[in-house]
Chains A and B, each alone.
Chain A
């Protein structure tokens, strides 16, 4: 199994505070990797850093053999390193379908000419990819809606579908299940697992412990910007440091909780 994304000593500093501190994360091709941690731990910052949305102050990130440091956000996306946003960030005045089309269509220098002279044939492959992305996100039938007309949970999923429409090799999902109920969340988990069959590697951040523990092969735990533990779901669940990190945030006997009960810890929507 080859590594698809590997960070070494990745550090992000915001005015003296290390939001990410020497983070080493490895994601192997075809795996389903999770990242959990209390609010403010630096999870979103990690995604921001490897997708080029915040500058890193030290460390390196290699994606599929490419050193990411010199690449702009859109170049990383074009390489197949595609993210979603915790804070929605949709094209609010474009229909769901148009949201996906922006990501799905590649452009070249003569795209404008094709547009203006209407020389383009309809593209089967792109149509199929979009239908597939909508299906994975459970949005089939909502193509023509505006994102603002959808409930919060589904808006999150528009972001997921848009990321999938961009033909990712590795998709980085930042709390996609926030705003979904248990049943919807489980359904999403099932769909996301299915991505592995489509050669899409998945990196998942979520507060829904049930979801993360049930779908991930391997989990990293972050607190105060540092990776404090990693391992299979079983290992992570019984790791004393992890329990301590969560205890620090909210009193309770986490140890005794089943995966299902862990849901609800800090699942305040958003940040």
Chain B
């Protein structure tokens, strides 16, 4: 009975998944892109709606209501000297009218969604239309990062709640005594929501089934000529499909999302992807049914947690998050193949991964700079420097997995978090570590190196577990799986109080680390004030060793095999490479490095929160290492300096006040897109090397042809 109620109650959330899923399907059919930013588009619409309807006294930045915020941010906020020049800032807020009626607010919001859809089409996916799949994935992740950062800048971090309107009003009298259960009230809006999702889905389906435009889209799906014959330009179709997809996202944002939580909403894309996958990414009715089913399924799981037989270590949030993950992984796993079948289109040309010739020189220079900085400069820099070191280590793990092995896994930073949490759990003893601690973590009080090892092993095991689907799931779809895994790990593990200790989710006080009698934490052992010296030395050693490790990996046999798999799995197998085992090795090595990064975090902070390891920090890591160069150790170093809280970004904030994490992420998102569009993802480090080589060549009077000549030959692809 509980379960049946759960089924019905879940239809409300399910209708959101359904509508978002349908939008994903439309974008996918329109231009072959899995849009990771789809949830963020819905979120932006939800904020826009709420902002328009905001009544005085409600929470939020603008309490007046009736204003819209254009989907960008003011790039020149408080930059002193620019302000003095009286440069007109980019307009962001536009006031429409105070207290606009619901229908007007609705139209404006949907127009905003359509506008965002057009921007995505013209600025990102149209330029990327002939790029490798990888570039498109990176582009859409960049948009996701950008949009969520801009939403944060424009709308603030406070949660919004909206009653909804018309039959969707969530405050109307609930349906009491539902299916004969005395204590259960079903919100009256729930059946209307499900109905609305079905009606909208059916309408969208009919449009694509019966109109000339729909026919042309389906024709263009097969080949571009088909659409032209029907009198449509393929690019017009793609653009229109982006608009429709985004408007559906906007509808989902307005009608269905009565609670608008920054960050959480963006991750609705995971459930939406699960829904879309049920329809094979191509069927709108499939996505609608998949979404409703998923909502019901997850909600039934949540109801099941109230039974006595339900194990305590499986928290409610975890169940809710795990349902879509299960669907995603199962659907993709069973549709996948061990080796790509003949004629499968791969990810396209990948960024080059040249071996570093003289790693010791680089390491020496890097260590020297780091030591000098940590010693000479003010303490602010030490915090920044150590954040850069942590980021470099995390990015090295990405260089191995994404750069060398070519597996688009978005989950590595989350694994760092797992390592951090497990380490804390293993090293704690249930007493207060520092006077200011609010919580205590119970644990076996293991020696610090062993606790660290335990954390790293946990990260590696989990990394290997996530690697298993990667044996059959490739490319973009792997990115989907790992994004789902992030959500599951966060809710199932990191926020799991029974497993991770009472303080999990909020703040886990870190133990005082001692390695072989030497204190290595960033807080002074006695005074508990920050004193980075010992920690910095420790972190430099760890990161330098990791850097050499990755350089040597690349120069060795295994590194070459990684690149071979990245390039062509069928050929690798034919050459005698055990593709499955080598992939697992890559996942293991990468997760090992991520685990070490988690250790450095635990030793740096007074307490560790799951916020610090949030998916968006992880995506920012990926964004910035792509920007730096995903295939080289130097790329990781550059990326580590660029990332929020890192050296260069901090340098920027010293000179330009008002640079916040959100700005950095927004810029990172833009950088990611630009990088994907302009350099097919080679990143700054390789671009610099290329330019330098070209310059040297020009000075010697020879023709520079390093980068160009690859393009020329790829025209004749005479295969299957």
Contacts and interface: CB of A to CB of B under 8 A. Distances in A.
A77 B720 contact: no
Contacts of B557: 101, 105, 107, 111, 114-115, 120
A3 to B, nearest CB: 23
A93 B556 contact: no
Given A77-B573, A102-B564, A115 B555 contact: yes
Interface in B566-583: 566-568, 570-579
B559 A115 contact: yes
A85 B571 contact: yes
A87 to B, nearest CB: 4
Contacts of A239: none
A89 B719 CA distance: 9
B701 interface: no
Contacts of B718: 152, 269-270
A94 interface: yes
A270 B719 contact: yes
B183 interface: no
B574 A77 contact: yes
Contact of B573 (A54, A73, A114): A73
Interface of B: 339, 341-343, 349-350, 352-353, 549, 552-553, 555-561, 563-564, 566-568, 570-579, 585, 589, 709-710, 713-714, 716, 718-720
B579 A93 contact: no
A198 interface: no
21 contacts: A53-B342, A74-B573, A77-B575, A78-B576, A82-B574, A85-B574, A86-B719, A87-B343, A92-B567, A93-B350, A94-B560, A101-B560, A102-B572, A105-B560, A107-B557, A112-B556, A112-B589, A114-B556, A270-B718, A271-B719, A271-B720
B353 A93 contact: yes
A74 B560 contact: no
Nearest to B552: A116
Contacts of B575: 77, 82, 102-103, 162-163, 166
A82 B573 CA distance: 10
Q: Which 10 A-B pairs have the closest CB atoms?
A: A115-B556, A87-B719, A103-B575, A77-B576, A91-B567, A73-B573, A270-B718, A89-B571, A102-B564, A105-B557
Contacts of B570: 53, 85, 89
Contacts of B350: 93
B170 to A, nearest CB: 50
Contacts of B709: 149
A17 to B, nearest CB: 15
A226 interface: no
A149 B709 CA distance: 7
Contact of B563 (A91, A114, A149): A91
Interface in A67-109: 72-74, 77-78, 82-94, 98, 101-103, 105-107
A51 interface: yes
A116 B589 CA distance: 11
B317 to A, nearest CB: 38
Contacts of A105: 557, 560
Contacts of A51: 574
A185 interface: no
A148 interface: yes
Q: Which of A83, A84, A86, A148 has the most CB of B within 10 A?
A: A148
A51 B350 CA distance: 27
Contact of B567 (A93, A103, A271): A93
Nearest to A44: B342
A111 B571 contact: no
Interface in A143-186: 146, 148-150, 152, 162-163, 166
Contacts of A86: 719-720
B37 to A, nearest CB: 28
Contacts of B352: 93
B713 A103 contact: no
Contact of A115 (B552, B576, B714): B552
Nearest to A117: B552
Q: Which of A74, A163, A270 has the most CB of B within 10 A?
A: A74
Contacts of B573: 52-53, 72-74, 77
Nearest to A88: B719
Contacts of A111: 556-558
A115 B553 contact: yes
A86 B571 CA distance: 11
A102 B339 contact: no
B579 to A, nearest CB: 7
A234 to B, nearest CB: 33
A94 B563 contact: yes
B363 to A, nearest CB: 14
B561 A107 contact: yes
A101 B555 CA distance: 12
A271 B342 CA distance: 12
Contacts of A120: 556-557
Contacts of A267: none
A270 B716 CA distance: 11
Given A87-B342, A117-B552, A270-B719, A94 B564 contact: yes
A158 to B, nearest CB: 10
A89 B570 CA distance: 7
Given A74-B577, A102-B564, A149 B556 contact: no
B565 to A, nearest CB: 9
Contacts of B578: 72, 74
A113 to B, nearest CB: 10
Q: Which of B559, B575, B579 has the most CB of A within 10 A?
A: B575
Contacts of B710: 146, 148-149
Q: Which of B339, B559, B567, B570 has the most CB of A within 10 A?
A: B567
A51 B589 CA distance: 30
Given A87-B720, A270-B718, A73 B713 contact: no
Contacts of A106: 576
A127 to B, nearest CB: 14
B357 to A, nearest CB: 13
Contacts of A88: 719
A180 to B, nearest CB: 14
A73 B339 contact: yes
A116 B716 contact: no
Given A87-B719, A269-B718, A73 B574 contact: yes
Contact of A116 (B339, B549, B579, B720): B549
Nearest to A172: B574
Given A89-B574, A103-B575, A149-B709, A98 B560 contact: yes
Contacts of A112: 553, 556, 558, 585, 589
A117 B564 CA distance: 22
B91 to A, nearest CB: 45
A48 interface: yes
A116 B571 contact: no
Nearest to A78: B576
B712 to A, nearest CB: 9
B340 to A, nearest CB: 10
Contacts of A269: 718
A191 B234 CA distance: 50
A93 B557 CA distance: 16
A53 B338 CA distance: 10
Contact of B714 (A87, A148, A162, A166): A148
A200 to B, nearest CB: 15
Contacts of A92: 349, 567-568
Contacts of A102: 560-561, 564, 572, 575, 577
B553 A90 contact: no
B177 to A, nearest CB: 54
Given A74-B578, A115-B553, A91 B571 contact: yes
B346 to A, nearest CB: 9
A163 B576 CA distance: 10
A246 B65 CA distance: 79
A166 B576 contact: yes
A90 B577 contact: no
Nearest to B714: A148
A89 B576 CA distance: 14
Contacts of B353: 93
